[in-house]
Amino acid sequence: MNSVTQVINEAHLSTNSTLGKCAEIEVYGEPLNPSINYSSAYAFKSIEELGAYHDNKFDSVRYTRDSSLIVRQLEHYFSLMHGKQPALMFNSGMGAISACFSALVTSKSRIIAFGSFYRKSLSIFQGYQKNFGVEYINVTNLDELNNLNSEDTLVLIESPSNPFLELVDVQAVRTALPDASIILDTTFQGLLNSKSGYQGVDIVLASCTKYIGGHNDLLAGYVICQNQSMYSKIWDERSMRGGIIDNQSAYLLLRSLRTYDLRVNKTLENMSYVLKFLDDSPVVENIYYPGQYENAAQSVLFESEHYHGGGVVTFRVSESVPLNKNLETLCSTKMAPSFGSVDSLVEIPMYMSHWGKTLADVKKLGLDERTVRFSVGNEPIQYILNDLMKLLNEK
Ligand X SMILES: *Cc1c(COP(=O)(O)O)cnc(C)c1O
How far apart are CB 221 and ligand X at their closest, in Å? Answer: 5
Interface with ligand X in residues 141-170 (CB under 6 A):
158, 162
Does 347 contact ligand X by CB under 6 A? no
Does 187 contact ligand X by CB under 6 A? yes
How far apart are CB 186 and ligand X at their closest, in Å? Answer: 8
215: left (phi over 0), alpha (psi -120 to 50) or beta: alpha
Rounded Cα distance between 205 and 222, Å, is 6
Rounded Cα distance between 136 and 29, Å, is 57
Does 207 contact ligand X by CB under 6 A? yes
**Are residues 373 and 349 in contact, defined by beta-carbon separation less than 8 angstroms?**
yes
Taking contact as CB under 6 A, which single stretch among the options 27-35, 100-108, 202-210, 379-387 is the one that binds ligand X? 202-210
Q: Which of 68, 153, 209, 281 binds ligand X (CB under 6 A)?
A: 209
Rounded Cα distance between 341 and 344, Å, is 7
Complex with ligand X: residue 158 or 166, whichever CB lies closer:
158
**Are residues 384 and 270 in contact, defined by beta-carbon separation less than 8 angstroms?**
yes
Complex with ligand X: residue 94 or 388, whichever CB lies closer:
94
Closest residue to ligand X using C-beta atoms: 93
State CA 358 to chain mean position distance. Answer: 29
Interface with ligand X in residues 214-253 (CB under 6 A):
219, 221
Residue type, 92: S
Q: Regarding beta strands 135-139 and 110-114, do their DSSP bridges make them parallel or antiparallel, or are they unpaired?
A: parallel
Taking contact as CB under 6 A, which single stretch among the options 81-89, 143-151, 182-190, 296-304 is the one that binds ligand X? 182-190
Q: How many residues bind ligand X (CB under 6 A)?
A: 14
Complex with ligand X: residue 22 or 352, whichever CB lies closer:
352
Complex with ligand X: residue 168 or 284, whichever CB lies closer:
168
Strand partners, 76: none
Complex with ligand X: residue 154 or 284, whichever CB lies closer:
154
Taking contact as CB under 6 A, which single stretch among the options 163-171, 203-211, 222-230, 234-242 is the one that binds ligand X? 203-211
Does 281 contact ligand X by CB under 6 A? no
Rounded Cα distance between 395 and 382, Å, is 14
C-alpha torsion sign, points 210, 212, 217, 223:
negative
Complex with ligand X: residue 260 or 273, whichever CB lies closer:
260
Complex with ligand X: residue 123 or 196, whichever CB lies closer:
123
List strand residue ranges (DSSP E) for the chain, in order.
87-90, 110-114, 135-139, 153-158, 181-185, 203-207, 221-225, 284-289, 292-293, 312-317, 334-335, 345-347, 371-375
Taking contact as CB under 6 A, which single stretch among the options 60-68, 137-145, 185-193, 376-384 is the one that binds ligand X? 185-193
Cα dihedral 201→227→255→244 (10° resolution): -120
Q: What does the per-residue mask of binding to ligand X show for 82-101, with x meaning CB under 6 A?
A: ----------xxx-------
Does 314 contact ligand X by CB under 6 A? no
Does 118 contact ligand X by CB under 6 A? yes
Does 116 contact ligand X by CB under 6 A? no
Half-sphere exposure of 236 (CA within 13 A, CB side): 8
Complex with ligand X: residue 113 or 278, whichever CB lies closer:
113
Rounded Cα distance between 45 and 174, Å, is 49
Complex with ligand X: residue 193 or 232, whichever CB lies closer:
193
* Collapsed DSSP state (helix, strand, coil) of residue 203: strand
Q: Kindly list the residues in this chain that would bind ligand X in the complex (CB under 6 A).
A: 92-94, 118, 158, 162, 185, 187-188, 207, 209-210, 219, 221
